[in-house]
Amino acid sequence: MAVNLKQLAVEFEDPNKIGITSGHRLCPGCAAPMTAKMALMVAKHLGYDVVVGLATGCLEVSTTIFPYSAWSVPYIHNAFENVAATISGVETAYRALKKRGKLKREKPIKFIAFGGDGGTYDIGLQALSGAVERGHDFLYILYDNEGYMNTGNQRSGSTPPGSYTTTAPVGKKLPGKPQLKKNIVEIVAAHENVYAATATVGEPIDYMNKVEKALNFEGPSFIAVLSPCVRFWRIPNDAAVSITKLAVQSKYWPLYEVEKGVYRITKKPRSFKPIRDFLEQQGRFRALLSRPDADKVISMLQDYVDKRWERLLALEEATKDKPAR
Amino acid sequence: MADLKKWHELPIGGVIDKPATALAYKTGSWRVMRPIWHEDKCTSCMMCWLHCPDNSIVVKGGKMTGIDYEYCKGCGVCASVCPVKAIDMEPETKFLEEAE
């Protein structure tokens, strides 16, 4: 089933059916609620009931300020580091109750965990790896805003080089964070029997197709969604969607999926844009761009994304029809 | 202040025991720029509806019918994703008199 927008619009005419309601306190133009609502709509459209788990992060603190909750689906939050462990416990409880015949419901339940990049790349990495290794049937959606934006722009394992953060500022000595971004999809894809993919809100149909595939996949699945933070990427409120389109075109965020070790690039742009275009649109790189050594960082980044794209193309060719398990 | 609940009337641990209570919190007051929808240009492609972070695009039977200003924070994503430019952003100050 390819996602049909008109059909979805009829089905979710009442916005309270989506699962995440209006009245949450995320910044205007934030991409995190888009990430959440698209995934929830696909899950419900496929006939599943959804249980959501949230790691600490913007999405969690802004949607569940006591006594308000913006969730109309069952929701669980535990701590920063353990959303994957929490949701795997919920999933196991569901399976156990079902096995003993204590659940009198027909509709199957799917478990979706949402985590930010702090709760996934850094703090929640071992809980995620454990849950994937144990093979729980859940979907982990990472909304990647490339920093600890909730607490005011600290560097995370996901922050790109040259970006301005309060803990790796662009100063006299350093041009921002010197290290490259961690490749989280490769880390998850290195586990056995897993579906891992990248997506972004700028390519919603591609993203929703991946959610569908991930939900129907038997076993753990993971989708990394590039989800801009308008506040600390220093972009205009309405730019979250256009900037991610540019991220795909500049090879900064290649769209691909890894199903049991088989790589597939889901979008191959006909022409590419230089990475400089992507950086120039964002205020977090402004301090870098005004430095004399800016070209060094940019050419390093350009070289990296080019090589990664070539590598992806080669992997796609090499792993064709060779699933690991 | 008078209608606030006492500590012993609140759920233990501050657990929220009802779903979707955030609907009582109207985020429309945050808005600085107001999206104005032009029905004649609109093709009901649903891109704005899909992207709106605050579920503020009102649709009926697969057609766009308006914008819910009670929750719209005025981010302008709807205007930026619109392929036919059927949504304009106008400063909220223009509508001050109208409200009074």
Tell me how far apart the alpha carbons of residues A5 and B50 are, in angstroms, rounded to a whole number. Answer: 8
pLDDT of residue B7: 87
Three-class SS string for A182-202? CCHHHHHHCCCCCEEEEEECC
- Residues in B closer than 8 angstroms to A20, CB to CB, are 55
Q: How many residues does chain B have?
A: 100
Residue B99's pLDDT is what? 61
In three-state secondary structure terms, A20 is strand
Q: Distance (Å, rounded) from C-alpha A87 to C-alpha A288? A: 40
In this prediction, residue A1 carries a pLDDT of 56
Residue ranges covered by each domain of chain B:
27-99
Taking an 8 Å cut-off on Cβ atoms, the answer to whether B80 and A31 are in contact is no
- The whole-number pLDDT of residue A172 equals 86
Q: Please state which architecture CATH assigns to domain B27-99.
A: 2-Layer Sandwich (3.30)
| β-pair partners for B34 | B90
Cβ–Cβ of B79/A238 closer than 8 Å?
yes
User: What is d(CA A71, CA A186) in angstroms, rounded to the nearest whole number?
Assistant: 31
CA A182 to centroid of chain Cα atoms: 13
Task: Tell me if A309 sits within 8 A of A254, measured CB to CB.
Answer: yes
The CATH class for the domain spanning A5-318 reads: alpha beta
What count of other Cβ atoms lies within 10 Å of the Cβ of residue A273? 15
CB pair distance less than 8 Å for B53 and A34: yes
**pLDDT at residue B5 in the model:** 83
Amino acid at A275: I
Residue A232 confidence (pLDDT): 95
Q: Write the DSSP symbol of residue A180.
A: P
Mutate to test the interface with A, among B3, B54, B65, B90 (most CBs of A within 10 A): B54
Rounded to the nearest angstrom, the minimum Cα separation between B18 and chain A is 8
A67 upstream amide cis, omega within 30 of 0 = yes
Write out chain A's pLDDT in tens, 325 residues.
567 888 899 999 999 999 999 999 999 999 999 999 999 999 999 999 999 999 999 999 999 998 899 999 999 999 999 999 999 999 999 999 999 999 888 889 999 999 999 999 999 999 999 999 999 999 999 999 999 999 999 999 999 999 999 999 998 888 989 999 999 999 999 999 999 999 999 999 999 999 999 999 999 999 999 999 999 999 999 999 999 999 999 999 999 999 999 999 999 999 999 999 999 999 999 999 999 989 999 999 999 999 999 999 999 999 998 888 6
Mention every residue, 6+ apart, whose C-beta is less than 8 A from residue A43: A50, A110, A112, A211, A215
E strand or H helix that includes residue A298: helix A294-318
Cα(B39)–Cα(A46) distance, integer angstroms: 32
Q: Does B71 touch chain A (CB under 8 A)?
A: yes
Residues in chain B with CB shorter than 8 Å from the CB of A35 are: none
Looking at residue B2, what is its pLDDT? 62
Residues B11-65: pLDDT tens digits? 888 888 889 999 999 999 999 999 999 999 999 999 999 999 999 999 999 899 9
DSSP bridge pairs for A154:
A148
pLDDT of residue A28: 95
Q: Check: CB of residue A298 under 8 Å from CB of residue A276.
A: yes
- Interface A–B counts its CB contacts (< 8 A) at 124
Of B22, B51, B60, the CB nearest to A24: B22
Looking at the DSSP bridge assignments, the partners of residue A57 are none
Question: Which helix H or strand E contains B37, and what residues bound it?
Answer: strand B33-37
Q: Which of B16, B71, B75 sits opposite A23 (nearest CB)?
A: B71
ipTM: 0.91
C-alpha to C-alpha distance for A257 and A189, rounded to whole angstroms: 9
| Residue of B18, B29, B75 for testing the chain A interface, max A β-carbons within 10 Å | B75
Nearest CA-CA distance, residue A72 and chain B, Å? 5
CA–CA dist B36, A86 (Å, integer) = 43
Q: What is the pLDDT, as a whole number, of residue A2?
A: 66
Is there a contact between A23 and B46 if contact means CB atoms under 8 Å apart? Answer: no
DSSP string for A241-256: HHHHHHHHHTTSS--E
Q: Residue B22 is nearest to which of A28, A30, A68, comparing CB atoms?
A: A68
The pTM assigned to this predicted structure is 0.94
Residues A6, B50: C-beta atoms closer than 8 Å: no
Using a CB-CB cut-off of 8 Å, the residues of chain A touching B34 are none
Q: How far from chain centre, in Å, is Cα A103?
A: 32
pLDDT at res. A19: 93
